[in-house]
Chain A
Amino acid sequence: MIRRIAQIVRLTFRMHRFEVGAVVVLGALLVVGSIIASWALANVGLGPDCQPNFETGELPESCIAEYETFNRIASLASPISALMVLYPIITGLLIGGPVIAREIERGTTSLAWSLSPSRLRWFLHRVVPMAILVVAMTFIVGAAAEHLTRALTPETDLAASFVGFRFRGVLMATQAFLLASTAVTVGALFGRAVPTFLLGLILGMLTIVAVGLLHREILLEEAVVQRQDENTFYSNDDLYLDSRLELPDGRLVTYEELIRIDPRAFESEFGPQYPNVSLIIPGDRYRTVETREAAAELVLGLVFLVGGAFVVTRRRPT
């Protein structure tokens, strides 16, 4: 059984060796790059007391050199961070796009579907190894991105902070999985690789954005109200969602709603007389929010794969 599974995985990877190679090499480069950058940043030895003054922005004299070195390394590491943001998109499309579409386009489905009595089995043989590769690679790169973010913000507890939300950790893996699943289904429908890349990118990104927007609506219901004044301000660790104005009776309204209630509210040269508040999710809820969004993307990705399997069982080979 294990031998048979290994055989299926090996043959699937052999069929898509360019895509698999590209994804693995790019992922490995990013992981190695982020480890080196994190190590270099940690070696600068920037302590928690070596931060700019909150009010003046000035640094203590003793750590100007370290701070500049830290910033120089951070700017050198910025292409790695940027590529890490793109990695789930590249991986999802590069792996998910051709896995079904190319087989239909090249006509190899005629052979495969005449040999395999079950098209579902054929679909699983093709998609499961590739999906596992996508999730594994983006999970590793996501962990490396978390490691790099920790090195760039040493004062931050990333388990309780929204710093780098959606660009580190498990969410990178689920975004890539969702994109790959979308591309698989688009490929099963259209049976052509190039249109699949384009449509898969558009549909996949729209789906990820839609998940984010829907999640934001849920989070607004759970948001904590944070007054914004000289003494209190939401922390970088919190997830800022929106701002509201607080009426004397405690109601929170948007600017547009306030104008309807009090058309003269903004006429004072001292600004509105109503306090401005922020709607935030505290940083300590990070893991819960991350897990929920990851689960949503995972489920949606699985729904797309079920759709792809349905199309494959119904369609004609070329």
Chain B
Amino acid sequence: MTAVLEAHGYGKRYRGRPWALRGLDLAVPEGSITALVGPNGSGKSTLIRGWIGFEPPTEGRLSIAGIDPQRHRKAAVMRSGYVPQQPALYRELTIAEHIELAITFRTGFDAPLAKGYVERLGIPLAAQANQLSGGEQAQVGLALALGTRARILLLDEPLASLDPLARREFLHVLVTAVRGGGHTALLSSHVITDIEQACDRLVVLGRGRTLLDLSVEDALAHHRVVEAASWEPGRPGTVGTFPTTTDERLTLVRVGPSGDGPGDSGSPAPLIGRAATLEEVVIGHLAASRRRGQLEADEPVPGVAS
């Protein structure tokens, strides 16, 4: 399958801060809805903004539909529709005027399509942006991104401030548009249950790296959870241990064709523990990443007496 969003050894470091991302290799296949998940500061927004040409890389390179967004920013922008983290609407303008604005900016902007999305959600075109709820503003942002008719949609945590119903409506519009229009979407989010419904691929970022890059189906098929107490730490396939809300401790185990867990060598995955939810898969990998970070920080520096 062709990759439309690629990162090759991509690294980004802001002045005076540690690396936000480093040595990142990633390929988002065409036609997928890929979820980009990670804790705050893991570089999700940086990566998305890099693909639209907003963030120049410190090292490595990105490509969007085969185009380097830094060298050919206009071409990169023309191939992408972007929904930012905070609804970035003009509070003085009505929704109809936002669509007019998009027409003045972008040749070929599909105003009837954008208007259609807005109207279907019952958002009045005559309403000013500051009169809309956060969910409605996010929907307008998505309608504008869809109106570009760009084949690649980059959505930077648009669900963050939405209530469950607004999230559901947003995802419904997104999934319908992507499936119907042959788009590729990259959606960064913290809300795993929503991702499970909408996305077919999962990328987990942590500590500036890719921790997991699988289809949602494979992520669920190749992970299981066991009670931490009954699992020997360090056994092959162990990903990470994390607490539940009931103070129980669970261990995420990778099984199947990963090369390091139970059920390798083509044999079916043994039915250890129980099937992991997508949230547990993400949390298990993030917990493992955090643990590795702690261990690295605790490592004595050679030549320095403790």
Contacts and interface: CB of A to CB of B under 8 A. Distances in A.
State whether these chains interact: yes
Interface of A: 4, 7-8, 11, 14-17, 106-118, 121-122, 125, 316-317
B77 A117 contact: yes
B97 A11 contact: yes
A108 B104 contact: no
A7 B54 contact: no
A11 B104 contact: yes
Given A107-B84, A114-B81, A115-B148, A17 B92 contact: yes
Interface string B70-103: 0001110110111010101111110001001111
Nearest to A112: B105
Given A8-B104, A107-B86, A114-B80, A14 B92 contact: yes
Contact of A11 (B81, B84, B93): B93
A11 to B, nearest CB: 6
For the residues of A in contact with B, the DSSP-based class is helix
Contacts of A8: 104
Nearest to A109: B88
Interface in B138-154: 141, 144-145, 148
Given A111-B84, A114-B52, A114-B82, A7 B92 contact: no
B90 A7 contact: no
B183 to A, nearest CB: 15
Contact of B88 (A4, A106, A118, A316): A106
A198 to B, nearest CB: 24
B170 interface: no
B181 to A, nearest CB: 18
B106 A108 contact: no
A115 B84 CA distance: 12
Nearest to A4: B104
B10 interface: no
A25 to B, nearest CB: 18
Contact of B77 (A14, A16, A114): A114
10 contacts: A107-B88, A108-B90, A110-B88, A113-B77, A114-B82, A114-B145, A115-B106, A115-B144, A117-B74, A117-B77
A186 B168 CA distance: 42
> B interface, how many residues as a size bin?
20 to 34
Contacts of A108: 88-90
Contacts of A7: 100, 103-104
Nearest to B53: A113
Contact of A115 (B49, B92, B109): B109
A17 B90 CA distance: 12
B54 A113 contact: yes
Instruction: Give the residue among A109, A115, A122 with the most B Cβ atoms within 10 A.
Output: A115
B55 interface: yes
Nearest to B91: A106
B80 to A, nearest CB: 7
A118 B104 CA distance: 11
Given A15-B92, A121-B105, A110 B84 contact: yes
Contacts of B86: 107
B106 A116 contact: yes
A108 B84 CA distance: 10
A207 B54 CA distance: 32
Contacts of A111: 82, 84, 88-89, 141, 144
Contact of A118 (B74, B80, B100, B145): B74
A13 to B, nearest CB: 10
B90 A117 contact: no
Contact of B97 (A14, A114, A115): A14
Given A8-B104, A113-B77, 11 more contacts: A11-B93, A15-B90, A106-B88, A106-B91, A114-B52, A114-B77, A114-B81, A116-B77, A116-B106, A117-B78, A125-B104
A103 to B, nearest CB: 8
Nearest to B81: A114
B55 A316 contact: yes
Instruction: Give the residue among B81, B90, B97, B105 with the most A Cβ atoms within 10 A.
Output: B105
A115 B145 CA distance: 8
Contacts of A17: 92
